[in-house]
């Protein structure tokens, strides 16, 4: 396992405190958990999403901290897959980027 940069480890610690404070305020908690996954990966900690077979409508976000595994149930995406392919995906990303910067 990589040794995280001090500022990344501190960022993750701050985020985990924020997640705990927002534990039952789900609209606040969900974005914090996604951000924590990103920072955990930057720290070199395994992190990601798995499907809980007993509750497939609530995927689980996991982080493997040096102190042990932590996890949170997360909402599924509210809209079904629209069938886009990789080319369409990046066309949409570019169109969004152009529109935002215009």
Going residue by residue through the chain (102 aa), what tens digit of pLDDT does each one get? Answer: 556 678 999 999 999 999 999 999 999 999 999 999 999 999 999 999 999 999 999 999 999 999 999 999 999 999 999 999 999 999 999 999 999 999
- DSSP letter string, the chain: -PPPPHHHHHHHHHHHHHHHHTTT-HHHHHHHHHHHHHHHHHHT--EEEE--TT-TTS-EEEEEETTEEEEEE-PPPSS------HHHHHHHHHHHHHHHH-
| Other C-beta atoms lying within 10 Å of the C-beta of residue 42 | 17
């Amino acid at each position: 396992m990589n040794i995280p940069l001090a500022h990344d480890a501190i960022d993750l610690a701050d985020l985990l405190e924020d997640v705990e404070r927002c534990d039952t305020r789900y609209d606040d908690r969900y974005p914090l958990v996604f951000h924590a996954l990103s920072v955990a990966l930057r720290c070199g900690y395994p992190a990601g999403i798995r499907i809980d077979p007993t509750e497939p409508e609530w995927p689980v976000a996991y982080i493997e901290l040096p102190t042990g595994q932590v996890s949170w149930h997360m909402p599924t995406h509210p809209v079904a897959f629209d069938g886009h392919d990789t080319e369409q995906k990046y066309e949409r990303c570019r169109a969004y980027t152009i529109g935002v910067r215009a």
